[in-house]
Amino acid sequence: MANPSEDVFPYDYKVETLDNGLKVILVPMSSSKGLVSYYSIVRTGSRDEYEPGHSGFAHFFEHMMFRGTKKYPGSVYDKLITEMGADGNAYTTDDYTAYHLSFATEDLEKIIELESDRFQNLSYKKPEFQTEAGAVYGEYRKNVTNPWMVMFEKLQETAFDKHTYRHTTMGFVEDIKAMPTMYEYSLSFFDRYYRPENVVLLISGDIDEKSTMDMINKYYGGWEKGYVTPQIPEEPPQTGPRMASVKYEGKSLPLLFVAYKGDDFDPSDKEAMAGLLLGDLAFGSNSDLYKKLVLEEQKVQMFGEEFGVNRDPGLWMIYSMIKKTEDVAYVQEEIASTVQQFQEAPVDAKKLENLKKRRKYDFLMNLDTPDKVGGNLARIVAVTGGIEAVDKMFATIAEITPADIQAAAKKYLDVNRRTTITLEGRK
């Protein structure tokens, strides 16, 4: 059994790997009132779409997986889930795709049967494929009416030259338009990536470990290996600042993104973990800059940061919606000034310690139900392949000093790693 009592993660958990490579993480929660959360985490996202002209398929399969199998067609699957009173959905990200259900413990075996069936035996004909591909294009057209989506597209396209983070999770629009012609390719994509070695089951709640594993072996044990590692190109070092602007056809307040190339997530890397804390300290909702721009001067309507967790070096971003066009340059200057401040002097030690405590508290407070356990662990499990990274991350964070934050600011907030995007809409 993993997880000694001194670790941060509050529950005992068990990890088993089937002979075919399927990893299973069980998190029993005795006080979960007969509820179970079932996450099927496919370690494939838009990052894995490395073949030119074929972006968007990770997101596409989030849709196609609900088409069902010969044994349980989509309409039958939906009916059974509804009759159980289960709450099921899915989402796709840059690094993974997650399928999740919440339901009563008594329905666990049926859920295992249903999920194992569609992951091994997904079945669809060309007309169904084309219908769903058309629906994905419709979703894309709806999304680009949102100025934030347009900004994200331009940011990734500008910041990356070779790595697959260059396109959004939905994919390049040209590829989405052409998707209905790629039926045979879709079968290949599923065959390569929806394999047991590339999937992690994260099951939390009112479960018995032995009986759950017996059922997992029964229904998933025959799933054949076959995962093919994607040939993702390495992004060359950025050698100078990049800028781009967007003229948005709809109405919108001005938007500003300032992003820096970060590091891949390594919970044992003190420098990278200091970088994640740096984002919160310099630009988070408790930062001096947030208080100045949002509360005191009231020049911006929205301001925040996303120094996130990625499998490969991604973007750490500061974003803002500004009330007046004439203040965009001012906000940029304030961000640059804050960067300089953190590079020139160590952060206040008390602020750093308060942030460490707050991060740990927020994490623990979001683990009180089975579904929250699954939802809050999914990205870390997908990026690292396991749950062990949680305790490693907090152990590393505990050792970070103000000098480490300053060093991270000098390394990561370098102007040569920066990409700046502005958007102006119609008045």
Q: Are residues 31 and 94 in the same domain?
A: yes
Q: Are residues 213 and 257 in the same domain?
A: no
- In this prediction, residues 388-394 reach a mean pLDDT of 96
Q: Is residue 306 part of a domain?
A: yes
Q: Between helices 370-384 and 389-398, what is the axis angle to 10°?
A: 80
- In this prediction, residues 192-216 reach a mean pLDDT of 97
Three-class secondary structure of residue 135 per DSSP:
helix
Domain span holding position 91? 14-220
Residue 181 tokens, joined: 């012609």
Q: Are residues 193 and 291 in the same domain?
A: no
Q: What are phi and psi of 246, to 5 degrees?
A: -125, 130
Tell me how many domains the chain contains: 2
- In this prediction, residues 26-41 reach a mean pLDDT of 91
Q: Is residue 366 part of a domain?
A: no
Q: Quick check: 4 pLDDT over 80? A: no
Q: Are residues 59 and 185 in the same domain?
A: yes
Residue 23 tokens, joined: 């990893």
Q: Quick check: 2 pLDDT over 60? A: no
Q: Is residue 79 part of a domain?
A: yes
Q: Tens digit of pLDDT for each residue in 117-159?
A: 999 999 999 999 999 999 999 999 999 999 999 999 999 999 9
Which residue spans within 93-152 are E strands per DSSP? Answer: 97-104
Element (H, E) at 353: helix 349-365
Q: Is residue 72 part of a domain?
A: yes
Q: Quick one: pLDDT at residue 6?
A: 63
Q: Are residues 216 and 246 in the same domain?
A: no
Q: Are residues 276 and 421 in the same domain?
A: yes
Q: Are residues 96 and 194 in the same domain?
A: yes
Q: Is residue 78 part of a domain?
A: yes
User: The domain that contains 77 carries what CATH number?
Assistant: 3.30.830.10
Q: Is residue 100 part of a domain?
A: yes
Q: Is residue 229 part of a domain?
A: no
**Percent of the chain with pLDDT strictly greater than 70:** 98
CA atoms within 13 A on the CB side of 130: 5
Q: Are residues 210 and 310 in the same domain?
A: no
CB 150 within 8 A of CB 144: yes
DSSP per-residue codes, 357-400: HHHHHHHHHT-SSHHHHHHHHHHHHHHHSSSTHHHHHHHHHHT-
Q: What's the predicted TM-score (pTM) here? A: 0.94
Q: Are residues 205 and 251 in the same domain?
A: no
Q: Quick check: 5 pLDDT over 70? A: no
